[in-house]
Amino acid sequence: MILIIYSGNAFQQNISRCLSKHSFLHDAVSNFQSAESLLNTQHYSLVIIESHASEVCLRRIKSLVKNNPESWVMAVENDVIVNDFTEQAVDEADFYEAGVDDYLCGPFAERMFCARIRSHMRRGLPNQEDIRVSQGCDERIEVGPLKVDQRYHSATINGQLLTLTAREFTLLDFFCRHPNQVFTRNQLLSDVWGYNHEGYEHTVNTHINRLRTKLDKVNTIENGGQLVQTVWGVGYRLNINGHTAKSLSA
């Protein structure tokens, strides 16, 4: 999940459009205060800051980095002109010294922008031993003890076949393709069900409970339902980190 901090201009709109085009889930806020509020309730693997060459911006970045050490931070600068000529010019080194993990100065190519995002996001995913897409085919995926094959509409855990409804299968497949990422109920409604309405969150809860029940009934794994973890106040995630070793040895 990505968080964008922007100032409400066309440059931010281009960033959001690019992320949506390449299927990156993201939230956007217009100031650091709103960003901190979200970061206090939800983990974002990557924070993209539309930065400006000013000491004020650097101080805010330092504070954000200090308070969110587990998030990668990318500074994206569009307007490199210092409007206040009494202020000392800020250069690329200043952003790195403020704590960012990456820095881009516009204009830049969309391909390069997305490649650098994917590079950062990979650092927050499980090791390649934990998640493997068979021979580059995105129809088959293996995540920890789970294997999902869209071609045959089959899912197994520790080699045991799961009997799932169409919606349960789609939900599990979505989780497997985004291991350890946290999704709100509305995000799951949008990405798995294809619609978004606050009145239908109970639908997500019902299907999550049914999926957990079926995972718990598998006799080759202990507490399989705990793979689908509730993140209180936020939503759900497929908890692979810290659970895979226990699951495989059960």
- Over the stretch 90-125, which tens digit does the pLDDT of each residue have? 677 888 888 888 888 766 678 888 888 877 766 554
Architecture per CATH, domain 2-123, reads as: 3-Layer(aba) Sandwich (3.40)
* Range picked from 18-22, 62-66, 75-79, 223-227 for highest mean pLDDT: 62-66
Task: Determine the average pLDDT of the residues in 132-155.
Answer: 74
pLDDT recorded at residue 236: 92
Range 131-249 has CATH code 1.10.10.10: yes
- DSSP string covering 142-204, please? EETTEEEETTTTEEEETTEEP---HHHHHHHHHHHHSTT--EEHHHHIIIIIS---GGGHHHH
Least confident of 2-6, 47-51, 83-87: 83-87
Contact criterion met (CB below 8 Å) for 74 and 101:
yes
Assign 126 a pLDDT band (cuts: 50, 70, 90).
very low
Dmax of the chain from CA atoms? Answer: 70
Task: Determine the average pLDDT of the residues in 51-64.
Answer: 80
pTM for this predicted structure: 0.48
> Can you state the angle between helices 55-67 and 32-39, rounded to 10 degrees?
0
Q: At residue 144, does pLDDT exceed 70?
A: yes
Nearest-5° Cα angle at 244, 227 to 41: 50
Give the integer Cα–Cα distance in Å for 248 and 250.
6
Assign 175 a pLDDT band (cuts: 50, 70, 90).
very high
Nearest-5° Cα angle at 196, 241 to 9: 85
Assign 241 a pLDDT band (cuts: 50, 70, 90).
low
Contact criterion met (CB below 8 Å) for 181 and 195:
no
Where along the chain do its domains lie? Answer: 2-123, 131-249
Instruction: Specify which residues 46 forms β-bridges with.
Output: 2, 72
Residue 127 CB burial class (10 angstroms; 0-12, 13-18, ≥19): exposed
Task: Determine the average pLDDT of the residues in 218-239.
Answer: 84
